[in-house]
Amino acid sequence: MNIIEEPKIEALLSAKPVRDEAAVRAVLVKARELKGLNPGDIVTLMNISDPELMGELFNTARYVKNAIYGARLVLFAPLYVSNLCNNECLYCAFRARNKAVQRRALTQEEIAQEIKLLVEQGHKRILLVAGESYPQEGFAYVLKAVQTIYSVKSGRGEIRRVNANVAPLSVEEFKALKGVGIGTYQLFQETYHRETYKRVHVGGKKRDYDWRVTGMDRAMEGGIDDVGIGVLFGLFDWRFEILALMQHIAHLEKKFGVGPHTISVPRLEPASGSEIASHPPHAVSDTDFRRIVAILRLAVPYTGIILSTRETPNIRRETFALGVSQISAGSRTSPGGYGKGEDIKDNAQFSVGDHRSLDEVVRDVATLGYIPSFCTACYRLGRTGKDFMDLAKPGEIKNHCDPNALSTFQEYLIDYAAPETRQVGEGRIAAALAGMEPGHRAISEKLLHQVRAGKRDVFC
């Protein structure tokens, strides 16, 4: 249980800050080599106070993000299938004692209807989210839900990849989850600081810090080689959390030879029945939030960084260039919210900051110069775990992802986009093609031709 070694983190944070310009710039030069940073490097970047050096940090993050991921932004939607929960987490609306929440678990028929609505918006990726308690049938409910999601077809659309954010499981349960075809398994520690963890988790199985922090070990032992980790920023000092996150990553890389596929960076947002959520004990400013994203991009350049609709449109726009590579869009955080057309009063897990539709987000992303991507090719071709990292670490993954992003974006524009979005999107595709080297442009043009001729789900 020594995954997180708090004394080492505290020693780093209590040492005299390094504010020497030359030392900071040496770390930034090192970051451009795309090999990541050590804890000492990270602390140096955490201590930047000079505006000019902060600008250089952000510029370096832009360079690294572009080198690994290019101009792509992957889009997905969360699907909350239940808000049943036996835990008492003081920051969460779903906590067991919160009587304001009307408890429900969607039936398989209701799940299918929610997915139909998402498919008809143009979504291809879903993150299944469930409260950490299940209906009478137990964990089998989640397995059936994944199968239901994959079964839904509407017009030319379907969900091609289901990721899952559910309670930490046993190895055998993870094997079953892998068996129904999930992509990434996502689990957040919320806070890596043991005392804070104990203070905000006052009831239920989630009180067990060690069971949760070892969840990714069991997932990988169960055959799931793509995992996503994260911190709920605002519960404790963000500097501690980043260093602990890096210890968790180092543990996974040492034990399994592969780090996390994604890192999520949610900040505490108001939640029904939660005083802590409305008044975070360690609130993270917008400036520090941008710094967090930039540092993570430099520290683990190969890992996808996920930004949810907790954040406002402006904050989302500002962090795209700093390292974010995946975003949710058109989200609802209450079971049945898509059918309702909005989050159901008092039933949402937290307040959403970006209320725009998928089409509005796609148009905005394209206008900003990014390629909205709905690609799921790596999972179809077995480029997961170490195979994915072997391509991502040197920056070669974009040789596959750029053509696939364009083909899935073209699908969206033809099948679902509003006229204004399609006009903006076609211009973005043309600009992207013009900037490609001849070999990659030829591959992209071939895929685009197939999509325009009526074929779907083409990739390389």
- Chunk the chain into consecutive blocks of 10 residues (it has 460) and report each block's average pLDDT, rounded to whole numbers: 93 90 97 96 96 97 92 96 94 91 94 98 97 89 98 96 97 97 96 98 96 98 96 98 98 95 94 89 96 98 94 96 95 91 72 92 98 85 71 68 94 98 98 93 96 94
Let me know: does 310 contact 269? Beta carbons within 8 Å.
Answer: yes
pLDDT of residue 69: 87
CB-count burial class (<10 Å; 0-12, 13-18, 19+) for 256: middle
pLDDT of residue 345: 67
pLDDT of residue 342: 74
Distance CA 405, CA 453 (A): 17
CATH 3.20.20.70 assigned to domain 71-377? The reply is yes
What CA–CA distances, in Å, run from 64 to 42, 111, 269, 321, 322?
15, 39, 29, 10, 9
- pTM, two decimals, is 0.94
Question: Is residue 397 classed as helix, strand or coil in its secondary structure?
Answer: coil
The gap between the terminal CA atoms of the chain, to the nearest Å, is 41
Distance CA 190, CA 338 (A): 26
Structure-block tokens of residue 265: 């960076």
pLDDT of residue 391: 67
- The residue ranges of every structural domain in the chain are 71-377, 394-452
Q: Which of 41, 70, 69, 79 is nearest to 57 (CA)?
A: 41
pLDDT of residue 19: 81
Which residues are bridge partners to 126 per DSSP? Answer: 77, 162
Phi and psi based region of residue 195 (left: phi greater than 0; alpha: psi -120 to 50; beta: remaining) = alpha
